């Protein structure tokens, strides 16, 4: 794996079975479409993040961080589940804040 630049963000959406049933594939496509022209953000699917009951889960890593942060329940409200982190809040407070 190539080392990330200091200001580069890597977003990994869990595509494990539990997260997939909670809409992670749609979340991945939504995020990829939202940031396809944004320099410094890479968005991809990945294997299970081992937080199965809390999904969809997203790992966010910035620069040379050895460990990123896992955000749970991202987009659950968008997919009709009444609890969780709204996609707009995830984008605004997690991704865009980290770019600055």
Residue 8's pLDDT is what?
84
Whose tokens are 């984008």? That residue is 91
* Mean pLDDT on 1-22: 81
Residue 2 lies inside a defined structural domain of this protein: no
Q: pLDDT band for position 97 (50/70/90)?
A: low
The encoded tokens of residue 53 equal 């009951």
Q: In this structure, are residues 93 and 7 in contact, taking their beta carbons and an 8 Å threshold? A: no
Residue 15 confidence (pLDDT): 96
CA-based max dimension of the chain: 38
Question: Judging by DSSP bridges, how do beta strands 69-71 and 41-46 pair with one another?
Answer: unpaired
Domain total in the chain: 1
User: Which residues span the domain enclosing 25?
Assistant: 9-99
Whole-model pTM: value is 0.79
Residue 79 scores a pLDDT above 80: no
The CATH number covering residue 18 comes to 3.40.30.10
Specify if 3 maps to a domain. Answer: no
């Amino acid at each position: 794996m190539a080392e990330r630049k200091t200001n580069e963000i890597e977003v990994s959406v869990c595509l494990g079975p539990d997260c997939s049933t909670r809409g992670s594939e749609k979340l991945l496509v939504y995020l990829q479409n939202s940031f396809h022209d944004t320099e410094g953000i890479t968005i991809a699917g990945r294997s299970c993040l081992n937080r199965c009951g809390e999904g969809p889960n997203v790992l966010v890593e910035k620069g040379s961080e050895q460990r990123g942060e896992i955000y749970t329940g991202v987009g659950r409200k968008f997919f009709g589940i009444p609890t969780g982190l709204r996609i707009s809040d995830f984008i605004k407070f997690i991704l865009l804040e980290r770019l600055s």
